[in-house]
Structure 1
Amino acid sequence: MGLPDFFRDRRGNTAVMFGLFFSILIVSMAGAVDYSNVISRRSKAQDALDAATLAVAVLRPATVEQAQAAVKLRLDKELGDNPDKVVIGQFNYDTKTRTYYVTAKGTYKPFLLGVVNIKEIPYEVISETIQAANGTLELALVLDNTDSMGQILNGSSTRLDVLKTAATNLVNTVMTSANKDYVKVAVVPYADYVNVGLANRSQSWVSVGADYTVPAAAKTCTTISTKQVCTGGVYGTCDSIKDGVPIKVGCWKTPQTCTTVNITPYQSCNNPQPTYYKWYGCVRHQVDSKTKMLVLPDPLTAYTGVLETAQKCPTAIQPLSNDKTVVTNSIKGLVNSIGSYKPDTFIPGGLHWGVNTLSPPAPFKEGMAYDSKNKEPKKVIVLMTDGANTLYTNSSGQIVSAATGSPPTISSSLVAPTYTAQDNACKYAKGKNIEVFVIGLGVTDPTALSALKSCATDAQHYFDAQNANDLIEAFEIIGGKLSVVRLMQ
């Protein structure tokens, strides 16, 4: 073979090789286009299945069959024309973990790869969704039960009435039959003190002396021979403060003129009775002897029970419970006064006992161990108050009333350590990764408002309620946040 023939052969080989390379290039380009289309279609199917499963998980259908049918309808709606004929594959619901496991399968028909006899490209997407609360939820409702909560808020309902409605709505939202084993709620009524419950009298974390009786004093009689007679004056209303909230009270705008006149003498005798001192469940706050500050939750020494002649603390704490009836009954039983007891406000104490109900050590042991990520369990405090502190910590750490005069004025030396104690309790809770929501109802005092906002986990966790609708809406929003369904993957 001569040289020209050789070159002719090489040109022929080159043409063959180029043709083969060009074919591979065309197939590769076609594959890239179709592969990109498959990725896009699969992504759309994944988003559609996630949206469908999340939507149905929120609705909580009564049966698995109803749930599956609802997911199918929502999936078809999300996909629209659905060219890949995406259909539900596997559908499971685990009642123990409250988890939906759903697969969907689609078939993509290539535009270009058909030239190499690839007619279909199947794909599958998976959605795993946990229903109801984000993991196990432990929620402490720390609720204001002070005297000011008796004021009318919307026509005929008191602030406390509206609070009961709002708190019950939240409980109904997070405590469903589907998540009964995964949600626990505690109710912590607070005022000047808290009530830990008579059933805990023998617990090691309470130190209560025995009930006792002071015998009646001797009967005495006094001769009365004069009386006061008052005339004139103008009676009207004056500004005052009731548990930190401005109110109007009856008063003499112009004083009366009073004189003492003689009357026919008579004997006035008393009728002494024994005085009975009992424990009604009230405990004192613990104070560090050195720092004079309140001892943070999880104390090492017992709380001191207070023996009184009548109950001087709110209704008892309801520890964490997964029984919705027990929790809602506790909310129904909230009161803002008992007999002559008209409680003032000490927010740090409420916060302390809110943490105590969530903390696994004594005094209450219903809570699980803390999770550093606050997922299993998720621990949450919802603090509600309608004003500033009206009880304060003095230099000895004692809880005292700082109000004097009418309208009352506050000793500034008592305000700072009180709000420091409140801030410490908030920081302690957040240091345990407890999520803290705060609702202020009509709070106007600048110091109180700043302290409440600072206590919340962040700005989105503080709610400024000005009326009944605001208060109910705040609890509804929190309930929604705590019952959000969650995609597992």
Structure 2
Amino acid sequence: MAAAGVAVDYGRLYVEHNRLQNAVDSAALAGSLQLPDDPDVNNGKAEAAAKTNLLANDADAGNILVESGGATRSVCVTAEANVEMTVSKVIGMTDKTVSAEACAGYNDIELVMVLDSTGSMKGTPITNVKEAATNLVNLIMPASSDTATRSKIGLVPFQGKVRIDGNDPVTAEQNPDGVGVGCRNADGTLNNGKLRPEYSHTTTKTNIFYGYTISGVSTTSDKTCAGMSPIRALSSDKEDILSNIAALNAGAVTSGTLISEGIKWGRNVLSPAAPYVEGNTDKKVRKIMIVLTDGDTEDGRCSGSYASASKTINTYWTNAYFGQGLKPDTSTSPYATLSTATLTLAQIPDCKDGGLLNQYVINEANLAKNDTSYPVEIFSIRFGDSDTTDKSIMKQIASSKAGTDDHYFDAPDEAGIKEMFKKIGQQLGQRLMTRKEATTGTP
């Protein structure tokens, strides 16, 4: 009889411990949501949120302690609950106390920020992006935590192409693909920021773009690459990361807005496979991409403000697709006989059917999200005025749960950019970890 009573009481201990542990887990996650406003868990916001959540799930919890994890940006919660013995008291057993602890916050995050740096972002927009990005870095990485955290952060600024400048603070990544210093075409070849000669000659009637004018672009000087902000590889060096963000600019001569190229190179940066190899191979590490843009994805004559009505050669014609040069559909090149741009455009596959640029954005996002080895979680931020097509694309590339837009954010004006980054930061901190990981940075 006594043995049966002891079994019943120990069953109650097991049930109460599980209930307390679940409540403490939930409390730590609730506290971590306040880390953007209470990063060191010292102004009461994280503590209040954690305690309120804990008592709502287990009213019997006591001796509640809420504190910072230490090496990682995290909240740790401990609590106890008394379990009264019943039948076991007959054989002298006293009441028992069960305890539980949990931590939640930021670690094991590899984040790349894919940021529109076209001319329309110049001024207040890029300033707010830099401030928001800095806040997010400070949230993920506590001061002097770069030796403890397993988190890394990289940058991929983009216009109509991306740039590798040979000066990456991660010295092993200064020429990651072996192509050399400069921008990149969509096929991975070097783009030197100059207009290709075959797009500009106006001396003979047999020339492809005979009679067209040249606006703001040259075949001899780099107009659209050298001034661009460059890619920066994943790094855990907080000082370098913040310096990279501070150096972002949106003042270079633009070559359009190709979101697909930003996403493609964002995936390259996150993956541990070449060309960039700083990514962690540990599957526990979350691969995160934030994509922010204020413009249509556009490619000179293909779409956007330089659609088919334009007959002016412009800087958009130096972007990642036009920079590849003309690519005839047939084995015989008709360069010497064509004299109109209309026919020539038919030989640039990326410009067929009015352009496939919107689909390229979705394709690149799907490649990242569906990577079988290192899937990427994408958050998208749409800034400024948007038409329904633009919003639809940005929603499609986001890793939102079915039936939601929880990874898509719409910032209608410059002020909204910082709030959107803060909301993303809250989601990134929704991760449970052990006390050891919170205090040392090591799982």
TM-score (norm 2): 0.64
Q: What CA distance in whole angstroms lies between the structure 2 residues aligned with 1:461 and 1:82? A: 34
Within the alignment, does 1:324 sit opposite 2:210 as a pair? Answer: no
Within the alignment, does 1:385 sit opposite 2:293 as a pair? Answer: yes
Q: Which residue identity is paired with 1:350? A: G
Q: 164-173 or 442-451: which moved more?
A: 442-451
Within the alignment, does 1:124 sit opposite 2:67 as a pair? Answer: no
Q: Which residue of 2 aligns with 1:475?
A: 421
Q: 93-102 or 421-430: which moved more?
A: 93-102
Q: Which residue of 1 aligns with 2:136?
A: 170
RMSD of aligned Cα (Å) = 4.6
Q: Percent identity?
A: 25
Q: What CA distance in whole angstroms lies between the structure 2 residues aligned with 1:368 and 1:83? A: 42
Q: What CA distance in whole angstroms lies between the structure 2 residues aligned with 1:95 and 1:346? A: 39
> Aligned to 1:484, which of 430, 434, 437?
430
Per the TM alignment, residue 442 of structure 1 is displaced from its structure 2 partner at its CA by 2.2
Per the TM alignment, residue 207 of structure 1 is displaced from its structure 2 partner at its CA by 3.2
Task: Say if 2:109 and 2:286, in contact at 8 Å, map to a contact too.
Answer: yes
Q: Which residue of 1 aligns with 2:112?
A: 140
Are the structure 2 counterparts of residues 74 and 62 from structure 1 closer, same or farther at C-alpha, using a change threshold of 3 Å?
closer
> Aligned to 1:464, which of 407, 410, 413?
410
Q: Which residue of 1 aligns with 2:358?
A: 419
Within the alignment, does 1:428 sit opposite 2:379 as a pair? Answer: no
Are the structure 2 counterparts of residues 74 and 377 from structure 1 closer, same or farther at C-alpha, using a change threshold of 3 Å?
same
DSSP 3-state at the match of 1:437: strand
Q: Which residue identity is paired with 1:127? A: E
Q: 1:378-425: CA deviations, max 9, x gaps?
A: 10110000021121696xxxx99535359x9xx995555111211110
DSSP 3-state at the match of 2:251: coil
> Aligned to 1:349, which of 261, 277, 290?
261
Per the TM alignment, residue 481 of structure 1 is displaced from its structure 2 partner at its CA by 1.1
Are the structure 2 counterparts of residues 204 and 49 from structure 1 closer, same or farther at C-alpha, using a change threshold of 3 Å?
closer
Q: What CA distance in whole angstroms lies between the structure 2 residues aligned with 1:81 and 1:383? A: 40
Are the structure 2 counterparts of residues 304 and 95 from structure 1 closer, same or farther at C-alpha, using a change threshold of 3 Å?
same
DSSP 3-state at the match of 1:476: helix
Are the structure 2 counterparts of residues 60 and 316 from structure 1 closer, same or farther at C-alpha, using a change threshold of 3 Å?
closer
Within the alignment, does 1:402 sit opposite 2:307 as a pair? Answer: yes
Are the structure 2 counterparts of residues 457 and 29 from structure 1 closer, same or farther at C-alpha, using a change threshold of 3 Å?
same
> Aligned to 1:444, which of 386, 394, 401?
386
Per the TM alignment, residue 44 of structure 1 is displaced from its structure 2 partner at its CA by 5.3
Structure possessing the higher radius of gyration over alpha carbons: 1
Q: Which residue of 2 aligns with 1:312?
A: 224
- Long gaps (5+) in structure 1: 1-23, 64-69, 151-156, 209-278, 287-301
Q: Which residue identity is paired with 1:193? A: K
Q: Which residue of 1 aligns with 2:324?
A: none
- Long gaps (5+) in structure 2: 195-220, 315-344, 346-350, 436-443
Task: Say if 1:139 and 1:379, in contact at 8 Å, map to a contact too.
Answer: yes
DSSP 3-state at the match of 2:112: strand
Per the TM alignment, residue 102 of structure 1 is displaced from its structure 2 partner at its CA by 6.0
DSSP 3-state at the match of 2:357: helix
Task: Say if 1:92 and 1:102, in contact at 8 Å, map to a contact too.
Answer: no
Q: What CA distance in whole angstroms lies between the structure 2 residues aligned with 1:174 and 1:31? A: 47
Per the TM alignment, residue 350 of structure 1 is displaced from its structure 2 partner at its CA by 0.7
Q: What CA distance in whole angstroms lies between the structure 1 residues aligned with 2:271 and 2:369? A: 13
Q: 1:418-456: CA deviations, max 9, x gaps?
A: 112111101100012200000001242332222111111
Are the structure 2 counterparts of residues 393 and 326 from structure 1 closer, same or farther at C-alpha, using a change threshold of 3 Å?
farther
Are the structure 2 counterparts of residues 124 and 367 from structure 1 closer, same or farther at C-alpha, using a change threshold of 3 Å?
same
Per the TM alignment, residue 79 of structure 1 is displaced from its structure 2 partner at its CA by 10
Are the structure 2 counterparts of residues 88 and 453 from structure 1 closer, same or farther at C-alpha, using a change threshold of 3 Å?
closer
Within the alignment, does 1:159 sit opposite 2:135 as a pair? Answer: no
Task: Say if 1:194 and 1:316, in contact at 8 Å, map to a contact too.
Answer: yes
Instruction: Kindly indicate which of the two structures has a greater share of residues assigned to strand.
Output: 1
Q: Which residue identity is paired with 1:402? A: A
Q: What CA distance in whole angstroms lies between the structure 2 residues aligned with 1:80 and 1:166? A: 34
Q: What CA distance in whole angstroms lies between the structure 2 residues aligned with 1:80 and 1:285? A: 53
Task: Say if 1:142 and 1:382, in contact at 8 Å, map to a contact too.
Answer: yes
Within the alignment, does 1:360 sit opposite 2:272 as a pair? Answer: yes
Are the structure 2 counterparts of residues 357 and 476 from structure 1 closer, same or farther at C-alpha, using a change threshold of 3 Å?
same
Q: What CA distance in whole angstroms lies between the structure 1 residues aligned with 2:136 and 2:385? A: 22
- Number of equivalent positions: 350
Task: Say if 1:127 and 1:487, in contact at 8 Å, map to a contact too.
Answer: no
DSSP 3-state at the match of 1:460: coil
DSSP 3-state at the match of 1:124: strand
Are the structure 2 counterparts of residues 442 and 36 from structure 1 closer, same or farther at C-alpha, using a change threshold of 3 Å?
same
Per the TM alignment, residue 329 of structure 1 is displaced from its structure 2 partner at its CA by 1.9
Are the structure 2 counterparts of residues 118 and 415 from structure 1 closer, same or farther at C-alpha, using a change threshold of 3 Å?
farther
Q: 1:195-229: CA deviations, max 9, x gaps?
A: 11134898472435xxxxxxxxxxxxxxxxxxxxx
DSSP 3-state at the match of 1:139: strand
Q: Which residue identity is paired with 1:336? A: A
Per the TM alignment, residue 344 of structure 1 is displaced from its structure 2 partner at its CA by 1.8
Are the structure 2 counterparts of residues 80 and 146 from structure 1 closer, same or farther at C-alpha, using a change threshold of 3 Å?
closer
DSSP 3-state at the match of 2:381: strand
> Aligned to 1:336, which of 233, 237, 250?
250
DSSP 3-state at the match of 1:470: helix
